[in-house]
Amino acid sequence: MTRGPYVGRGIVGIAAIIGLGVLIAESAATRAPSASPHATRIGHAAFMSRVDQRNTSDAFRGGEVAAVMGRVDLDLRGAAMAGDEAVIEVDVVMGRVGLRIPDDWTVVSEMVEAFGAADIRAARPEGPPAPRLVLRGAVLMGRLDVRN
């Protein structure tokens, strides 16, 4: 039985996708400042797993979240920003990230979507300028959900 001309290329492609997923997950996990509920910077990674975390910091500054064929649910409704802006780096590869944010935060999305979706349904507060949560990163064949 002979192999077709594309069998070797398929294995290399699969290995490259798995390697990319491990690279993203490990980079977020190794740079994660803390997973404590009171941490000012967050760092969560789910590689073929699920992470549920709640943050209640009174000086939240941002952090990193990565989901590779996994799911991260992060509840920030009990947190307060240290300044006017916090930045979260979000990387999703064939997974899902769910963020719950306080009602008085404004969300600014700088996400890149490729065969995925960044669904931001957070109500924008009216009145004085609200703290800004900036989301940066990429969604590749996955989903990012942001809700109040």
**Average pLDDT of the residues of the chain:** 85
pTM: 0.77
Q: Tell me the C-alpha distance between 92 and 135, whole Å.
A: 12
Residue 127's pLDDT is 77
User: Tens digits of per-residue pLDDT, 86-139?
Assistant: 999 999 999 999 999 999 899 999 999 998 999 999 877 677 888 999 999 999
Q: What is the mean pLDDT of residues 31-57?
A: 82
Domain spans in the chain, listed from the N-terminal domain onward: 7-147
Q: Average pLDDT for residues 8-30, to the nearest whole number?
A: 67
Is the sign of the CA dihedral 48, 144, 40, 56 positive or negative? negative
Report the pLDDT averaged over residues 58-67.
94
Given this model, what pLDDT does residue 26 score?
63
What's residue 128's pLDDT? 82
Within 13 Å and on the Cβ side, how many CA atoms surround 76? Answer: 33
